Amino acid sequence: MTGRVRVVIVGGSFGGLTTAYELRRRLGPERAAITLVSKDERFTFVPSLTWVAMGSRTLPQISFDLTGPLARKQVSFAHETVTGIDTERKVVTTTQAEHPYDFLVIATGHRSANEAVEGLGPFDGPGHSPMSPPEAEELAGAVRTLLADPGPVVVGAAPGASCIGPAYELAFELDHLLRRHELRHLVPITFVTPEPFLGHMGMGGAGKIRQLLEGELEERDISYRTSAAVTKITADAVELEGTGAVPSVLSIVIPPLAGVDAVAKSPGLANPKGFVPADAHYRHHSADGVYAVGVAVALPPVGETPVPVNFPKTGHMTEQMAQIAASDIVARIGGREGATAELSARCVLDMGDRGAYLAVDPVRPPRNTIPTVSEGRRWLLAKRAFERTYLWHVRHGRRMPTALGW
C-alpha cells in the first residue's frame, strides 16, 4: 500500500489510546493520518471507578481531557458520537461528520445491558452498578446513605457477566469501609455470583485464587452464593432464581455487557450481542480493513457453566489486543502480516486493607505456567501507585508498558 493511509479509531479509552499511540510511534504523520473519534471528551481510568464509588477518589482525579495528549501525538480528535459504520463505503458516520478510512479500529468498549435484570438501575431502578463514571458517582451517594442508615447489602454479578473482578473488590472495599466507621456489625453482606465457584472469573479459575477468595470472604463474615442467577432487584431485596430473595437495602450488581448500538446496528459488522467477530490479528472476519480491540471483540466463553459466565476482558488484555492490531496494520501497509500472541493477564484485586495479585499466561486454559497468586498489603500499595503512574504516562502521550500488568 502506497501513499498516506487514513486510520480511524473509534473509542478513547484503553484500546483506542493504545492503538493511536502505537500506530503513531510506528507511522509518522507523513505516512498515516490518524483520527480518534470518541463520544467522551475525557479518558477515565476505569479500574478506579470502584474507588469513586467508595468515596476515596473523585472523577477529576482519575480522568483527563483527551485533546492535549492526542494533539501532541499529531492525532486528530473528533469529539463526536458515532451513529453508524458503512464497511462497503469504508466510512464512519457521526452526528457531525463522515470519516472515511483505509483502516478502522473499533475500540468502543461496551454497553451495560442493565435491562437483563429487572430493577438494575441505577437511574431507572433500585439496583446500582459502577460500570460508568455517572453510575460510580451515583453509587457513591448510595454508599453515603448506607453509612447514615445501615442495613443488609448484596454485592455481585448478573448471569452472563464478564467483568466480575470489580464485584469482589466492591464487597471487600465496602466491608473495610464499614469496619472503619464501626458499622460492620449492622450490615450483613452477601456476595452473589453466576460463577460455579469463587475465582472462576470467566476464565475457568486460576491456581489458588479460589481458595484465597473463599478464605478471605469467610474471614470477613461475607456470605456467598455461587451459580446464583439474579432475576430481580427491589428496594429491599435481591431475588435469585430457585432460592428466593436475599434482604438488601443496597444492591450492587455488575450487569452483562453488550456491544454499543452504533456497532450493533451496522450491517454485517457484529454478532447478535453487538460484539465484533475477529481473528487472531483482531481483524474482522469479512470487512476489509476493520479491526476490533477490547470489550468490543466477540470472544467465546471458556466453557459451559450452570449459570452463564462470559470471558473476561481487562484493560491489560485490551492493550495487548491493541498492540497486536496496530502491529498488523503497520505490517499490512508494508504488504506483510503482523504477529499474533495469546492473551495473558496480570491484575491486582483490592481487598480493602490489602491486595491480591494474579498472573495467568495464557488467560484461556490450559496454561504454559502455573498461575501466580499472591496476597498482601504491598499489592494494594502497588495498585495505588500504578494508577497514578499510568495516568501520568497516558496524559503525557506515552504508552505504559503492558508487561507490568494490571
List 27, 163, 230, 359, catalytic entry: 163
- Map residue 376 onto helix, strand or coil: strand
Residues 6 or more apart whose CB falls under 8 angstroms from that of 173 comprise 50, 51, 54, 350, 351, 352
Q: Write the pLDDT tens digit of every residue in 179-207.
A: 999 999 999 999 999 999 999 999 999 99
* pLDDT tier at 213, thresholds 50, 70, 90: very high
Which residue ranges make up each domain of the chain? 5-112+258-342, 114-256
pLDDT at 399: 73
Instruction: Say how far apart CA 229 and CA 385 lie, in whole Å.
Output: 36
Domains 5-112+258-342 and 114-256 share a fold: yes
CB 96 within 8 A of CB 251: no
Residue 405 has pLDDT above 60, yes or no: no
Residue 1 has pLDDT above 80, yes or no: no
pLDDT at 232: 98
Mark whether 347 is an active-site residue: yes
Residue 334 has pLDDT above 90, yes or no: yes
Mark whether 163 is an active-site residue: yes
CB 357 within 8 A of CB 374: yes
* pLDDT tier at 2, thresholds 50, 70, 90: low
294 — alpha (psi -120 to 50), left (phi > 0) or beta?
A: left
CATH class entry, domain 5-112+258-342: alpha beta
List 240, 347, 373, 394, catalytic entry: 347
Task: Provide the mean pLDDT of the chain.
Answer: 95
CATH classification code of 114-256: 3.50.50.60
Q: Write the pLDDT tens digit of every residue in 335-378.
A: 999 999 999 999 999 999 999 999 999 999 999 899 999 999 99
